[in-house]
Amino acid sequence: MTGSPLVMGVLNVTPDSFSDGGRFSVGDAGIARGRELVAHGADIVDVGGESTRPGATPVALEEEQRRALPVIRALSADGIQTSVDTLHAETAQLAVAAGARFINDVSGGTHDPAMLEAAAWASAEHGARFVIGHWRGVPDPGHQRSDYTDVVAEVRAALADQAEAALSAGVDRSHIVLDPGLGFDKTGEQCWRLLAHLDALTSLGYPVLIGASRKRMLAEALASPMGANRSTTPEQRDLATSVVTALAARAGAWGVRVHDVAGSVEALAVTRAWSREESGVARRDGSRHHTGLRDAAPSDAARPDAEPGAADGSADRIVLTGLEVYAHHGVFDFEREQGQRFVVDAEVSVDLRAAAAGDALERTVHYGELAEAIIAAVERDPVDLIETVAERVAEVALGFAGVRGARVTVHKPDAPIAATFSDVSVTVVRP
């Protein structure tokens, strides 16, 4: 596990969603739900104004935009990272102009010929990321297009081709995210095979988003002889979704797209605790641990005369210091009301050899994006303690692809202390 995946909370503002029955499509319900998802721990809120479930009826662009744009605008104004779930270039552009930081296209730019150009504009002008999903067309409930010879190899090749098309259109490489499109023209068995071979997708060098939440593949697994042998409603698949989240984290996923944010956040907390102990045992006795994914290569770091981490790149660091953020954290009411200045120092450990060898931005951490992510994390909902803020920032830093550890210091130079002082700070170190 190279870092904790980001949690993308699903917000369908459609009346025909398969998972929530249109509960958030009326009035300000969608805005309230987006804020609730963030309170539960979502890093990103993915807003969709048109359903892409099998058999869904397409809607006019004006209607999709009427549903989604006000929600994106309001949540973005709150400092919440938003994504627009759309097939349409016009909607994507308007959403990014309204504050969205991600375009999540389940067709990967193949449905609307103008989408790649829109994604390139969003990347260049707003630093927005483009999530390239895999599909073979409008979802087909009969699986007439699920005739893969080797689903892993074919999905990998298709995503690689579409990523190259996005690059050629002008999308920055560091702004591309891949999604294998679980459930889109893929049987349940094919979806599980993709998850079991996630390393084939991550090896393309792009972050990978996993969206298995509440999907039929989970119901089929639970109804199998080895499962619970019962039929389920979409909401009854949340526990199974959280299990996928934990396993995806272990397999190197960059993010998970889920409806039940709280469950996945808890699953990731347990996964991090498990991984920290594995790392701790390895440091104490020099042993190697099999995680079921990939075994660590032998390292000279265990030798007394070796520079720690030098052999495997683990001594490499990117350091961002003195990042100022104005936020409303504190125990006292006046701190919450008036706000104050916080200063963040963040250091991430990441193997920089590949980036340096190829002068390749995509093989390192984009420090501008890191700064933006930290600012968004600090500006989120108020808390009492800077300890909590530091932990939040560390989790965000660990969510970047390739990050192995983070050291975060949060300074509170204007803290209400009845004495002369220059600074107070808290530092957390997370592997």
What pLDDT score does 208 carry?
95
Closest CA to 75 of 107, 33, 111, 112: 33
Which ranges in 170-291 belong to alpha helices (H)?
Answer: 188-196, 198-202, 216-223, 238-250, 261-285
Q: Which residues are catalytic?
A: 215, 257
- Burial 336-359, CB ≥16 within 10 A → b, else e: eeebbebbbbbbbbbbbeebeeee
CA distance 231 to 66: 36
Residue 227 burial (10 A CB sphere; 0-12, 13-18, 19+) = middle
What pLDDT is recorded for position 389? 94
End-to-end CA distance of the chain: 10
User: What pLDDT, on a 0 to 100 scale, did the predictor assign at position 388?
Assistant: 93
The predicted structure's pLDDT at residue 381: 85
- Residue 181: closest CA among 205, 206, 207, 159: 159
Task: For residue 1, give the DSSP letter.
Answer: -
pLDDT given for residue 361 in this prediction = 82
Say how far apart CA 129 and CA 121 lie, in whole Å. Answer: 11
Distances (CA, A) of 111 to 50, 160, 346, 384: 14, 17, 40, 46
pTM over 0.75: no
The CA distances from residue 193 to 217, 256, 428, in Å, are: 11, 17, 38
CATH architecture of 317-430: 2-Layer Sandwich (3.30)
Whole-number pLDDT of residue 290:
38
What does the pLDDT read at residue 300?
A: 36
Residue 402 tokens, joined: 């390739």
Query: What is residue 292's predicted lDDT score, i.e. its pLDDT?
Result: 36
Q: 10 Å Cβ neighbour count for 113?
A: 9
H-type alpha helices, 88-127: 89-97, 115-126
Per-residue confidence (pLDDT) for residue 308, from 0 to 100: 39
Residue 311 one-letter amino acid: A
pLDDT of residue 229: 52
Is the torsion defined by CA of 65, 128, 324, 381 positive or negative? positive
| DSSP three-state, residue 193 | helix
Number of helices (H) and strands (E) in the chain: give both, helices first: 14, 12
Bridge-based pairing of strands 317-327 and 255-258 is unpaired
CA distance 180 to 343: 38
Place of tokens 């150009």: 117
Phi, psi of 328 (to 5 degrees): -120, 45
Q: What is the dotted CATH code of the domain comprising 6-270?
A: 3.20.20.20
Question: Which residue ranges make up each domain of the chain?
Answer: 6-270, 317-430
Ranges in the chain, pLDDT < 70: 1-3, 16-27, 53-56, 138-143, 224-231, 278-314
